């Protein structure tokens, strides 16, 4: 018999307080930017860690073909250094939506009010494993995800974790926060029907999940709160969701998928994904580092970031794309040459993230 759905995944986090391990040290002052009325690129007082400077191949145009479920071969016929006239027309309409607060806010299915509530709950350092276990047991999806995460954390010769309370203790507060964030934010990626956004939704979610776990690992390595890294990676995928929903609404008709796959068009789409991400998440005020990240990307784009959290997201975005392209047989030369070129710390983050998958 299936377990009943838990209708409010935020209530229980503040009950039965018990102390847990303290959060990792806060990042340097460069990331402790307070919100201002106008977006500014955060100052970086020290050079970013050398480990994240190593060249990771940029996301190739083939990634957009994968996102839309189209054969990569189509991109070769449309591989042009300039935008075709049809792309110029629909991108102009997308730019008008991005510039409008009202139109832009309509591109995501979940009301933004729930996100600050989520963050307030997730930042609470107190929880009771017994109470949490009892409450999670009422939600089959959360219970399954917690047990799956616990078994991933306890790899090796140890016995599989099957008891929920044991799983809660194994994943700890940090793991629980990620599971809850994933569960609460998942509806933002849902879409049904035959639209572009519906066809791309499963791939967008898969990429966002990979990116979130990679970004958490990379951020934690540089003493950035892994929860900020996880949320940055997960919410970066909402830029794709919003962009595809915008493309669904262009006139006279949504552009057919093959017209989106040229190299110049794919690059233009990725730039607008980043712009939508920065504009959509900034008003939510998730945390000072995430607000600063939104400001930085709005000012210089994801390719130009210099903050530790920005560099973690940039690396995670590229590694996640390379990962799915390789898994789908779309990466010429395979994955080994790319991984061999990575610095040890980035390679280890990648290997650890995907070791259980």
Tell me the DSSP string of 75-94. Answer: HHHT--SS--HHHHHHHHHH
Q: Copy the structure tokens of residue 56.
A: 């990771």
Residue 158 has pLDDT above 70, yes or no: no
Which pTM was predicted?
A: 0.75
pLDDT of residue 187: 75
pLDDT bucket at 109, cuts 50 / 70 / 90: low
* Mean pLDDT, residues 139-143: 70
pLDDT bucket at 285, cuts 50 / 70 / 90: confident
Residue 352 has a CB neighbour count (10 Å cut-off) of: 13
Of all residues in the chain, the percent with pLDDT exceeding 70 is: 71
Residue 290's Cα: distance from chain center in Å? Answer: 12
Name the average pLDDT for the chain: 77
Check if the beta carbon of residue 44 is closer than 8 Å to that of residue 307: yes
pLDDT of residue 289: 94
Residue 333 has a CB neighbour count (10 Å cut-off) of: 8
Q: Copy the structure tokens of residue 106.
A: 């309509």
* Mean pLDDT, residues 49-74: 77
Which of 5-19, 205-219, 222-236, 255-269 is least confident? 5-19
> Which of 231, 213, 181, 194 shows the shortest CA–CA distance to 355?
213
pLDDT bucket at 129, cuts 50 / 70 / 90: low
Residue 79 has pLDDT above 80, yes or no: no
pLDDT of residue 106: 86
* Mean pLDDT, residues 14-27: 43
* Mean pLDDT, residues 73-90: 72
Check if the beta carbon of residue 282 is closer than 8 Å to that of residue 19: no
Residue 232 has pLDDT above 50, yes or no: yes
pLDDT bucket at 120, cuts 50 / 70 / 90: low
pLDDT bucket at 210, cuts 50 / 70 / 90: very high
pLDDT of residue 178: 79
* Pairwise CA distance, residues 133 & 331, whole Å: 42
Check if the beta carbon of residue 82 is closer than 8 Å to that of residue 68: no
Check if the beta carbon of residue 216 is closer than 8 Å to that of residue 181: no
pLDDT of residue 53: 47
Q: Copy the structure tokens of residue 293.
A: 């990240």
* Mean pLDDT, residues 333-354: 89
Check if the beta carbon of residue 20 is closer than 8 Å to that of residue 219: no
Which of 88-97, 141-150, 305-314 is least confident? 141-150
pLDDT of residue 141: 66
Check if the beta carbon of residue 180 is closer than 8 Å to that of residue 233: no
* Mean pLDDT, residues 251-276: 90
């Amino acid at each position: 018999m299936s377990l009943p759905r838990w209708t409010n995944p935020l209530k229980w986090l503040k009950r039965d307080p018990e102390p847990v391990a303290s959060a990792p040290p806060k990042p340097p002052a460069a990331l402790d930017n307070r919100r201002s009325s106008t977006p500014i690129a955060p100052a970086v007082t020290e050079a970013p860690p050398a480990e994240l400077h190593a060249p990771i191949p940029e996301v190739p145009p083939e990634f957009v073909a994968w996102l839309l479920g189209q054969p990569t071969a189509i991109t070769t016929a449309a591989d042009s250094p300039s935008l075709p006239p049809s792309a110029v027309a629909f991108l102009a309409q997308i730019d008008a939506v991005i510039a409008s607060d009202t139109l832009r806010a309509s591109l995501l299915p979940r009301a933004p009010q729930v996100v600050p509530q989520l963050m307030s709950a997730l930042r609470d350092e107190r929880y009771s494993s017994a109470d949490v276990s009892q409450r999670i047991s009422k939600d089959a999806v959360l219970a399954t995800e917690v047990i799956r995460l616990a078994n991933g954390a306890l790899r090796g010769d140890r016995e599989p974790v099957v008891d929920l309370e044991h799983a809660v203790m194994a994943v700890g507060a940090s793991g629980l926060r990620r599971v809850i964030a994933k569960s609460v934010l998942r509806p933002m990626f849902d879409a049904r029907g035959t639209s572009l956004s519906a066809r791309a939704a499963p791939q967008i979610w898969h990429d966002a999940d990979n990116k979130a776990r990679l970004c958490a690992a990379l951020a934690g390595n540089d003493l950035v709160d892994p929860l900020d890294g996880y949320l940055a990676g997960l919410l970066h995928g909402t830029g794709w969701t919003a962009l595809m929903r915008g493309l669904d609404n262009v006139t006279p008709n949504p552009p057919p998928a093959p017209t989106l796959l040229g190299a110049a068009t794919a690059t233009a789409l990725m730039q607008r994904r980043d712009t939508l991400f920065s504009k959509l998440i900034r008003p939510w005020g998730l945390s000072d580092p995430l607000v600063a990240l939104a400001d930085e990307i709005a000012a210089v784009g994801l390719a130009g970031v210099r903050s530790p959290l920005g560099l973690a997201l940039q690396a995670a975005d590229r590694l996640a794309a390379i990962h799915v392209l390789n898994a789908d047989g779309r990466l010429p030369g395979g994955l080994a040459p790319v991984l061999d070129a990575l610095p040890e710390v980035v390679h280890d983050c990648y290997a650890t993230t995907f070791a259980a998958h």
